[in-house]
Amino acid sequence: LAKTTQPISMDSYEGQEVNITCSHNNIATNDYITWYQQFPSQGPRFIIQGYKTKVTNEVASLFIPADRKSSTLSLPRVSLSDTAVYYCLVGDATTDSWGKLQFGAGTQVVVTP
Amino acid sequence: GAVVSQHPSRVICKSGTSVKIECRSLDFQATTMFWYRQFPKKSLMLMATSNEGSKATYEQGVEKDKFLINHASLTLSTLTVTSAHPEDSSFYICSARDGPWTTSYNEQFFGPGTRLTVL
């Protein structure tokens, strides 16, 4: 699995857009980029996954440049309930080994009123 | 999406005793489940891969005799912490994925976690 680097923490105010960039210089051809959200004392929750360009769902958007060496998770108009740790993971999601996730430190996002 | 449950949600035990944690896939079958451990303010660390009907495979540094894993059915994996000590106190989380024929195959569904405190 490719190693990822993301900021340790980010602060934001309610209603603002939060963008978290993850670096993955050694991403392989078959690798997908997946983001998880974790609240204290809960298991991680899948947010979004993409391979290239842009992916959007009801929760977030994921921007992936052409070289795929980085990706940006965009959380629109955050609320206090978006305060959580966000993890970026890179790996081939289509293989059996995908379950062996190697979590990095993650980004602690704190949203204040 | 698919749901993974864990039981108990929290457990307190005395040093030297054994504790069993259950992980269930509620609405799908999982031939493979994964066990993670998370210490306070730290990231998740993969402990082992639980395979239905066969032995679990452990990550380097994880004692297989201490953390016994049994995957007796396609919906249940158990993690038993044997002779628990205070340093085993942690948050244990399991995960599983649905089959390759589903639209959620690329997702990994996590359980809510089990907080273990060893006194």
- B103 vs A92, which has greater pLDDT? A92
pLDDT at A88 over 90: yes
Top residue of A34, A39, A42, A110 to mutate, by most chain B CBs within 10 Å, is A42
Give the model's pLDDT for residue A2.
Answer: 65
Residue A49 Cα distances to A8, B64, B74, B111, angstroms: 21, 33, 26, 19
Tell me the residue type at A24. H
**pLDDT the model gives residue A98:** 67
Compute the distance between CA of residue B115 and CA of residue B92 in angstroms, rounded to an integer: 6
Mutation site, B95, B106, B116, interface A, largest A CB count within 10 A: B106
Q: Test A94 with B97 for CB contact under 8 angstroms.
A: no
Share of chain A above pLDDT 90, in %: 81
CB count in 10 Å sphere of residue A29 = 6
H helices of chain B, in order, are none
CA pair distance B19, B97, nearest whole angstrom: 25
Query: How far, in Å, CA of A66 to CA of A99, rounded?
Result: 26
Residue of A nearest to B96 (CA): A99
Split at pLDDT 50, 70, 90, the class of A48 is: very high
Given a cut of 90, whether residue A3 has pLDDT beyond it is no
- Checking if the pLDDT of A1 tops 60, the result is no
A43, B46: Cβ pair inside 8 Å? Answer: no
pLDDT on residue A109 = 98
Q: How many other C-beta atoms lie within 10 A of the C-beta of residue B26?
A: 11
Mean pLDDT is lowest, of A39-48, B15-24, B98-107, for: B98-107
Identify all chain A residues contacting B61, using CB atoms and an 8 Å cutoff: none
Instruction: Output the pLDDT for position B31.
Output: 82
The first and second tokens of residue A108, run together, are 């602690």
**Tokens matching residue A93:** 């999601």
- Tell me what pLDDT residue A49 has: 92
Q: What is the pLDDT of residues B50-86, one digit of tens each?
A: 888 888 999 999 999 999 999 989 899 999 999 999 9
Q: pLDDT at position B51, please?
A: 85
Mean pLDDT of A62-91: 96
- pLDDT score of A78 more than 90: yes
Tell me how far the alpha carbon of residue B25 is from its chain's centroid: 12
Q: Minimal Cα–Cα distance from A5 to chain B, Å?
A: 13
Distance between A4 CA and the closest CA of chain B, angstroms: 13
pLDDT at A42: 95
